[in-house]
Amino acid sequence: MYRTITSEETEELFNLCEKYGAFFYDVQIELVDHLASLIEEQWEKDPEISFQQGLKNAVSFFGKSNFTKVTREKEKEVNRKYNLLLWKYFIEFYKWPKLLITIVFTLGLLLFFEFFNQTKTIMLIYWGLVMVGFAFYLIRIFPKYKIKGKSGELFLLAARQSQVMYISIILLQVPLITNNVFKLNEIDSINNVFILAAISFFIVFFSILLYANTFFLSKKIKEHFEEQFPEFAK
Amino acid sequence: MYGYQITREVEKITTGELVITEGALYPTLHKLEAKGLLSVEIKTVNNRPRKYYFLTENGKKETSNLLIEMKAFIQNMDVLLNPKTA
Residues B67 and B41 in one domain: no
B27, B35, B42: residue with CB nearest A29? B42
Q: Summarize pLDDT for A39-63 with one digit per residue, the tens.
A: 999 999 999 999 999 999 999 999 9
Residues B37 and B75 in one domain: no
The pLDDT of residue A217 is: 92
For residue B86, is pLDDT > 50?
no
Q: How confident is the model at residue A171 (pLDDT cuts 50, 70, 90)?
A: low
Residues B36 and B6 in one domain: yes
More confident residue, A210 or A94: A94
Q: How confident is the model at residue B85 (pLDDT cuts 50, 70, 90)?
A: low
The pLDDT of residue B80 is: 92
SS (H, E, C) B40-60: EEEEEECCEEEEEEEECHHHH
Q: How close does chain A come to B74, measured CA to CA in Å?
A: 31
The residues near B2 (Cβ < 8 Å, ≥ 6 apart) are: A33, B50, B51, B52, B53
Q: Is A73 near chain B, with CB under 8 Å?
A: yes
For residue A189, is pLDDT > 60?
yes
What is the tally of structural domains in chain B? Answer: 2
Residues B6 and B42 in one domain: yes
User: Is the distance from CB of A233 to CB of A149 less than 8 angstroms?
Assistant: no
The helix-helix angle for A156-171 and A65-92 (nearest 10°) equals: 50
For residue B62, is pLDDT > 90?
yes
**CATH code: domain of residue B47:** 1.10.10.10
**Torsions phi, psi of B54, nearest 5?**
-130, 145
Residues B19 and B31 in one domain: yes
The residues near B6 (Cβ < 8 Å, ≥ 6 apart) are: B20, B25, B29, B53
Residues B38 and B5 in one domain: yes
CA proximity to A110, closest of A55, A192, A32: A192
Residues B10 and B39 in one domain: yes
Q: How confident is the model at residue A234 (pLDDT cuts 50, 70, 90)?
A: low
Q: Is A15 near chain B, with CB under 8 Å?
A: no
Provide the ipTM.
0.87
Collect all residues of chain A within an 8 Å Cβ-Cβ radius of residue B45: 33
Q: Summarize pLDDT for A109-160 with one digit per residue, the tens.
A: 999 999 988 888 998 898 888 888 888 888 898 888 888 777 778 899 988 8
Q: Tell me the whole-structure pTM to 2 decimals.
A: 0.83
Residues B41 and B5 in one domain: yes
Residues B35 and B74 in one domain: no
Domain that holds residue B74: 56-86
Q: Is A143 near chain B, with CB under 8 Å?
A: no
Q: How close does chain A come to B85, measured CA to CA in Å?
A: 49
Residues B48 and B22 in one domain: yes
Collect all residues of chain B within an 8 Å Cβ-Cβ radius of residue A33: 2-4, 45, 48-51
The pLDDT of residue A162 is: 85
Residues B8 and B19 in one domain: yes
Domain range list for chain A: 7-63, 69-228
